[in-house]
Amino acid sequence: MPEKCRVVVCGFDPMIVRGYVRTGERALWWYLPDELYEDYKVRPGDIVAGRLLGIYDGDGRKVETPNEPFEWKTSRETGLAVVLPPNVISRYRLTEFHFLELSIEKILRQPESNEDEGKLEEVEVYPGEERRRKWWPDEAMKLGYKLAYVE
């Protein structure tokens, strides 16, 4: 069973994000729940897999319900930050003024052994149970200031 969470998108001003999306560089990210990060010792470059359940705008309204699978890499500096791919940013017109509702189901990582190089080790997140620890409350998702996505 997964870790369900509602997280805030972090990143740069939408005009800068526009440039980063075009170059394929890191523009937006979100942070794993601290407990999951520590329990699974998530490392830089690991892949977090699950389902994108919902997207909320800065007014606290659910604007998308994709219910689609994802596999997103953690940043090269830390396993705590999960980087949003450029195609997801542009498809959903995401900015740092959005919130994501997610179900985190697996961590995919390079095995410790060099013999299995190229194969990813799949670690199920909290098998047999469901956890919900990092959950932005509805009233906290209403931002006083926000900027729109820049095409």
Tens of pLDDT along 3-35? Answer: 999 999 999 878 787 778 887 778 999 999 999
Reported pTM: 0.91
Q: Residue 145 has which token pair?
A: 């200031």
Would residue 95 count as lying in a domain? yes
Would residue 84 count as lying in a domain? yes
Residue keyed to tokens 């892949």: 47
Cβ neighbours of residue 77 closer than 8 Å, sequence gap 6 or more: 44
CB atoms under 10 Å from CB of 148, counted, come to 11
Would residue 22 count as lying in a domain? yes
Would residue 120 count as lying in a domain? yes
**Number of domains observed in the structure of the chain:** 1
Q: Which domain holds residue 130?
A: 3-139
Would residue 145 count as lying in a domain? no
* Nearest alpha-carbon partner for 107 in 88, 120, 96: 120
CB atoms under 10 Å from CB of 79, counted, come to 21
Would residue 147 count as lying in a domain? no
Q: What is the pLDDT of residue 127?
A: 93
